[in-house]
Structure 1
Amino acid sequence: MLSAMPSPSFAIRPATPADSATLFRLISALAEYEKLTHLVEATPQKLEQALFGARPQAEAVLVETHTPEGARPVGFALFFHNFSTFLAKPGLYLEDLFVEPAWRGHGLGKALLRHLAALAVERGCGRFEWSVLDWNTPSIEFYKAMGADVMPDWRICRVTGDALAKLGRAS
C-alpha cells in the first residue's frame, strides 16, 4: 500500500552497459502495463548494443530507490535527440518513461521529467517532447500537471516491417 510506504530516498543516474538486463526488465514491465508485450523484440543484448555500442542510438537514465538493503532501480527514461527545422535547434525526445507501480506517487516520475528537462536546457534544446497513448488518462493528466501541452492536432505516422522495406525500395 502506497500510503504505508515512507517517502523514498532516490537518485537518478545514467544507465551503463551493466544495466542492460535491468532496462530490459523495466521495458518489459512497461510493455505489460501498455498491453503491448507482443511488440517487444528487445533483449538485454540488443539494448546494450543500441545504447552503449560503437554508435549509441539513444540514452537512458535509471531512478533508484535507496534503502538500508542498497540501491534498487525502480524506473527509467529512455530518450534521444531529434531536430526542429523551425527552431534550427535540437530537441530531446522521450521515448519511454516508466516507474514500477509500487513506487508511483512518490515523485519519481516528476523527478525523471525534471531531470530530462534540465538536460534539454543544458544541451541547448529548443523543446522536450514525447507521445502518450490516448487511453492513458492518468499519464495525460500527470503530464498536463507538469506543464506539458497535449498536441491535439498531431498524429504519429509509422512505417515498420514489410511496409518499411517496400517503401525503402520504392523509387
Structure 2
Amino acid sequence: MIRTATPDDIPLIHTLVRELAEYEKEPQEARATEAQLHEALFGERPAAYAHIAVDDATGVPVGFSVWFLNFSTWRGVHGIYLEDLYVRPEARGGGHGKALLRELARICVERGYERLEWSVLNWNAPSIAFYEAMGARPQDEWTVYRLTDGALTALGS
C-alpha cells in the first residue's frame, strides 16, 4: 500500500533518509533536521512531497519516496524529479519500490506531466537493474554537476 505522507510521518521520514544515506555510504551528508523536513513537505509553501510504502500484511511502514516538480522548457510542462526512493532491506523484493514508482507515474499521467526522472549512483547495480526492468533508461549523455558548501558560498557571495 502506498499513501501520501502526513506531518505525523516526519520522524519516520527522517529515519528513512538517514538509513538511505547509510546505504549510499554518505551518512555524514544527511544533515536535514525533522523541522527542515516538516517545513519542506508541509510548510506554507511546500517544496517537496512524500509517499510512504506500508506493508499490507503488517501495516508497518517499509519505505518512502520524496519528490518535487521540475519543468521542461522543451516540453512546456512539469515533470517529477524523484529525490529519494528507499525501501528497507528486509522489505525489498516485496513490490514496495515498484509501487512507489507506479504512484509517481500515475501522478504524472493524471496531471499531464511528461517526465519522471531521478539519479542513481553508478555503483548501485541492484537499483539500476530494478529501474531498467521497469523500462527506465539512463541518460548517459548528461553529467550531473553540483555546487555545495564552500564552492556554493564562494560563487554566491
Q: Please indicate the TM-score interval, normalised by the length of the shorter structure.
A: over 0.9
Q: TM-score by structure 1 length?
A: 0.89
Q: SS state of the match for residue 41, structure 2? A: helix
- Corresponding residue for 1:4? none
Mapped to 1, the partners of 2:28 and 2:144 lie a distance apart of: 20
* Unmatched runs of 5 consecutive residues or more in structure 2: none
1:156 and 2:144 correspond: yes
| 2:105 corresponds to which of 117, 123, 146 | 117
Q: SS state of the match for residue 137, structure 2? A: coil
| 1:146 corresponds to which of 120, 134, 143 | 134
> Per-residue deviation at 1:43?
1.7
- Corresponding residue for 1:17? 7
| Matching residue's letter, 2:15 | R
| 2:118 corresponds to which of 119, 130, 137 | 130
Q: Higher strand proportion, which one?
A: 1
1:29 and 2:19 correspond: yes
Mapped to 1, the partners of 2:63 and 2:150 lie a distance apart of: 33
> Per-residue deviation at 1:66?
3.2
User: Which is greater in Rg?
Assistant: 1
- The runs of 4+ residues in structure 1 deviating greater than 6 Å are none
Mapped to 1, the partners of 2:85 and 2:10 lie a distance apart of: 16
> Per-residue deviation at 1:140?
0.6
Q: Between the two proteins, what is the percent identity of the paired residues?
A: 51
Mapped to 2, the partners of 1:71 and 1:107 lie a distance apart of: 15
Deviations for 1:71-108, whole angstroms, at most 9, x for unmatched residues? 21110000000001111111110001000000001111
Deviations for 1:115-163, whole angstroms, at most 9, x for unmatched residues? 1101111121111100000000110111000100111111111111221
Deviations for 1:27-68, whole angstroms, at most 9, x for unmatched residues? 11111111110101112221111110111110000011133x
Mapped to 1, the partners of 2:14 and 2:98 lie a distance apart of: 22
- What RMSD over aligned residues (CA atoms) do the two structures have, in Å? 1.0
- Corresponding residue for 1:56? 46
Mapped to 2, the partners of 1:53 and 1:94 lie a distance apart of: 20
Q: SS state of the match for residue 71, structure 1? A: coil
* Unmatched runs of 5 consecutive residues or more in structure 1: 1-10
- Corresponding residue for 2:87? 99
Mapped to 2, the partners of 1:168 and 1:121 lie a distance apart of: 37
Count of residue pairs the alignment pairs up: 157
| Matching residue's letter, 1:101 | P
